[in-house]
Structures are given as C-alpha cells and as structure tokens.
Amino acid sequence: MTDPAPWWKTAVVYQIYPRSFADSNGDGIGDLRGIIDRLDHLQWLGVDAIWLSPFYPSPMADFGYDVSDYCDVDPVFGNLDDFDALVDACHTRGLRVVIDWVPNHTSDQHPWFQASRSSKDDPKRDWYVWRPRNPDGSPPNNWVTSWSEDGAPAWTIDPVTDEWYLHLFLPQQPDLNWRNPGVVEAMHDVLRFWLDRGVDGFRMDVIHLIGKAEDLADDPEEFLPLPHVVLNHEPSCLPLVEGIRSVLDEYDGDRMMVGEIGLLDTSMVADYYVDGRGMQLAFNFPPLYAPWDTLFWRPNIDAVATHIEPKGWPAWVLGNHDNPRQATRYGSEERSRAAAFLLLGLRGTPFLYAGEELGLADAEVPAERVVDPGGRDGCRAPIPWDSSDDHGWGPDPWLPWPPEIDLRNVAAQVDDPASIANLYRRLLAARRSSAALQVGSQAMLDSPDSVLGWDRAEGPERFRFLVNLGPDEADVSSLVNGWEVLVDSLETDHGPAPDTVLSADHAMLLRPAAG
C-alpha cells in the first residue's frame, strides 16, 4: 500500500490577511479573535488550512511585513494567548495553520537593527548589509528598491555611522545578512518558537532573496529599473533553504514550508524545491500575472509540468494581498467563476485568497485614504460579513469597502445557491471527496484554441475540466461525449448532459456518464 499523501498535497489553503478579515473588538482592524469567531465560514466553504499573513509586532510601514519582534503578537491583533486559542480552535476543526515568516528583512525598529546601526563595532553590525560611502557618493551597486517609480536605490545612508544599508523593500525594512551564522541561528530559533506552539507550516516571505551574491554585483543594465527582488536568483540561497527545511524536519507531523519566490521564470522557481530537500511548495506567479487568454495560460501550465513536476509538487495562486483581485483583473463575475476551476482543478495545492470566494473586486480607495506604499490597498479591503450597516465590523474599518457589498457579503452569498461562494463550495466538496481531484495525474487535452481542457485521474476515478477563456462560444462536442456534468460555473443545477457548446468564460467539471 502506498503511503497517504502529506496533508499539504491534498489541502486547499485559505489566505487570511488579518487586518482585513474579521474585527472582534470594533476598532476597525481585523484581529485573531475575529478569525476564531469566523471559522464556521471556512468549514462551510470546505477549505483545509489557513495561512495567516503577519500578525507580529510591527510599526506597520509595510503592514506587518516589517517585523519588530518575531516571537509575539502585535496588540492590534491580540496576544499570544489569542494565537494559541486560534491554533486550538483550528485544530479542533481539522484545519491546519500556516503562518508567515519574514526572513529577508526586519523592521528598522527591531532591536537587532537598532544594535546594528548603533556603531560599526557592535556585535550585531554584520547582521545587516552595510557598505561604506563611495568617494563619488554613489550607492554600493545599481540595485533598485521595490515600489519605486523612478528606479530609486535599494540603499539608504544611515546618519549614525554614515554608511549605506541595504533594503530591497522600504528603507524601514533593512535586509538581514544571512551570511552571518548568528542570523541563521536566530531565525531558525524563530521557526522553533512557532513550531513548538503547534503551527503546521510557514509561508516564507520572498525566501529567494535571503541568498545574495557575495560581491553584490550590479544587476544587468537591460533589466533596470526592474527591482532587484524579481532578479535575485542566487545559488547561495539553496543551502540556506536546506538548512531551514532541516529545522522543520526536527518536528513530526509533516510541517510544511511554501516559498514566496518572486521570480518571473518557472524554471527558476523550481530550483527552490532543492530536489526534495528544500521547499515542499513554491508560489509560481506567472499564472497570476497571465491575462485571461489561453495564449498565456497554455505555456504557463506547460511550464509547471515541465519544470516543477519533476522537482516537486506545484502550488497554484491566482490572488493574494499584493495584487488586484481576480474580478478586477479579469473583469467579470463569469471569469472569476471560471477561474475557480483553474485554481482548484489544476494539479497542485491551491492557495485561495480570502474574499475571492465572494467574487470581490478591489475597493476604490480615494487618495486621502491610501495607506500602502505599494499601491495594494484595493485588494485589502475588509471582508463584508453581512448586509447590516457595519457589515460585521466596527463603524470605521481601516480601508473602504469593496463594491457591491449587499451582494458580495458572506451571509448573502451563503443563502444564495447560485452565488460564487456556493460554486466554490461545490468545487471544494468535489475535490475533497476524490483522490483523483486532489492528487491524481493531469493530462492536457486537444481542445479549441480558446478552451483549456484537462483530465485528472487516479485508479479508476476520472474527471474532466473544460474552461473557455475566449470571448466567443466554442464547440466542445468532441470532448463531452461519454461525460456528464458534476459542476457548472454558471448554473447551480445543470442537468447531467453537458452542453456541446461552451459559452464565453464558461467552465465545467465533468465525470464519466453513468451506465
């Protein structure tokens, strides 16, 4: 008998951005108790695990991705007792808990950086990346920081010692120096702190950045002003990843790490699996950036099969707290519905961003309410829980509401069998009850240009997916003969016989026809 698949291969992981998910104390900012209060929704939906974006103490220059203490909870989200209660509540319901770990940089308010900046002789000086001034005043290299429209340098002079420090993101997020063994040890201990508290895994923020070329060589001119974040593919990262994995392997229970690999090339993303000794999962972003067109989707799916499959288990992500939501990117509810079949149907572990199951679009954020330096407020709008005046929140949430709130709130969608939330629920239920849909093989089909078609199979079980990404109807008669409809993207109660013509943006999950 073969071993059962580890939980992270069969699971669907639901991403919670704590500030925006649920507010238990009415201060307008989501918190850990709020999440506990809303776990019923996740069980109703049928996901298997949650990933929590950072909830650590932070000055919030990057809303928690600037950590000032890795081993505590920011008071705005609660405290460690609340965290323990959340882990217990999830585990009692059979939900796994994955937390964010931010290894590339700390906040500039972290005591490590405060010590490091204090003097060139401080024992923690080398925990960050410092370089002296050049005689001509130029920064140490041509690396560009993130979210800079004008190619601003990834370096800032610190007045205390009059030297440059590296920050691939905001100046308030100095990069740690992973060449220093003290950093490696301290960050491994952070993992142990949370593993001891029972977490099932980590989403590792921009993990591909922790290895940096020893000479910090310039980026090739032709790539500028792309930020260094999408260019840093450095072999010295891989042994560091192996070291991190060995910490997880000290614990029983299949503790999992999923790497955020911000590179634009799937063959590079595959390297971070380190042939079974590295990440168990790696985010591969090209499908998230792909327009709604098979011209882009086909090569992206092929690239996963060619590059990821031989090295590890794929992860699929079509939305997160850094990118416009699917409804905003793709432009219609029909497409958001069809995208659910891609996310949940392609072979690999899906990561579903909270609110995608409601078909939320980005909020319109007027200039005076913009708070994120990276322009990502729209996709971080609060989750509306019901149609009441405050939608289950305090009177004044930290960001404006997303559009169509009376239609796109949890209570309204749970009650409406035709809602996108109920569509997600049907797909998740189908997936949960079938090894073929969770871990089965995948074979792409010959299909009309605008249609993506693939089969999933395991033992005697078989399923077929058809998704039309085109603006016109497509003839799929040759692909539906002998099959019946299990889930239809547009109809709640489709009869068993599939349509031979797939309308624009229409998707179907089929199973072999009975008899």
Indicate which residues carry an active-site annotation. 205, 250
65 binds ligand NOJ (CB under 6 A): yes
Q: How many residues are listed for the chain in this entry?
A: 515
C-alpha 180: how far from its chain's center?
A: 29
* Residue in 205, 271, 333, 455 binding ligand NOJ, rule: CB under 6 A: 205
- Whole-number minimum distance, CB 50 to ligand NOJ, in Å? 16
User: Which of 311, 386, 393, 382 has the alpha carbon at shortest distance from 348?
Assistant: 311
Half-sphere exposure of 426 (CA within 13 A, CB side): 23
Return the structure tokens found at 39.
Answer: 């776990």
Q: How far is the CB of 65 from ligand NOJ (least distance, A)?
A: 3
Residue 17 lies near ligand NOJ (rule: CB under 6 A) = no
By CB under 6 A, residue 169 contacts ligand NOJ: yes
Q: How far is the CB of 29 from ligand NOJ (least distance, A)?
A: 17
d(C-alpha 148, C-alpha 230), whole Å? 13
Q: Is the dihedral of CA 294, 299, 304, 310 positive or negative?
A: positive
Q: Please identify, using beta-carbon distances, which residue of 374 and 400 lies nearer to ligand NOJ.
A: 374
The structure tokens listed for 122 are 């401080």
Contact between 372 and ligand NOJ by CB under 6 A: the answer reads: no
Give the residue with the Cβ less far from ligand NOJ, 59 or 374.
Answer: 374
Q: Does 377 bind ligand NOJ (CB under 6 A)?
A: no
Min dist CB 64 to ligand NOJ, Å, is 8
Residue 334 binding ligand NOJ, by CB under 6 A? no
Contact letters for ligand NOJ, residues 86-105 (x by CB under 6 A): ----------------x---
**Interface with ligand NOJ in residues 241-270 (CB under 6 A):** 260
Q: Is 505 in the site for ligand NOJ (CB under 6 A)?
A: no
Which two tokens mark 218? Answer: 């310039």
**Is residue 87 helix, strand or coil?**
helix
Report the number of secondary-structure helices (H) and strands (E) in the chain.
17, 18
Give 137's contacts (C-beta < 8 A, 6+ positions apart).
Answer: none
Query: Which of 24, 19, 22, 86 is CA-nearest to residue 58?
Result: 19
Query: What single letter denotes the amino acid at residue 354?
Result: A
Distances in whole angstroms, Cα of residue 57 to Cα of each of 61, 74, 79, 110: 12, 4, 10, 9
The verdict on 56 binding ligand NOJ (CB under 6 A) reads: no
74 binds ligand NOJ (CB under 6 A): no
Number of residues engaging ligand NOJ in binding (CB under 6 A): 10
Nearer CB in complex with ligand NOJ: 351/401: 351
* DSSP line for 17-72: -HHHH--SSSSSS--HHHHHHTHHHHHHHT--EEEEPP-S----TTTTSS-S-TTS
- Residue 49 binds ligand NOJ, judged by CB under 6 A: no
Residue nearest to ligand NOJ (CB): 65
Closest CA to 362 of 419, 323, 420: 323
Shortest separation between residue 454's beta carbon and ligand NOJ, angstroms: 29
**CB nearer to ligand NOJ: pick between 108 and 322:** 322
206 binds ligand NOJ per the rule CB under 6 A: yes
Q: Which is nearer to ligand NOJ, 44 or 289 (CB)?
A: 289
- Which of 322, 362, 455, 488 is close enough to bind ligand NOJ by CB under 6 A? 322
Residue from 48, 62, 108, 200 touching ligand NOJ (CB under 6 A): that is 62
Angle made by CA atoms 241, 269, 7, in degrees to the nearest 5: 70
Q: How far is the CB of 143 from ligand NOJ (least distance, A)?
A: 15
Our CB check for ligand NOJ shows the closer of 169 and 483 to be 169
Residues that bind ligand NOJ (CB under 6 A): 62, 65, 102, 169, 205-206, 260, 321-322, 374
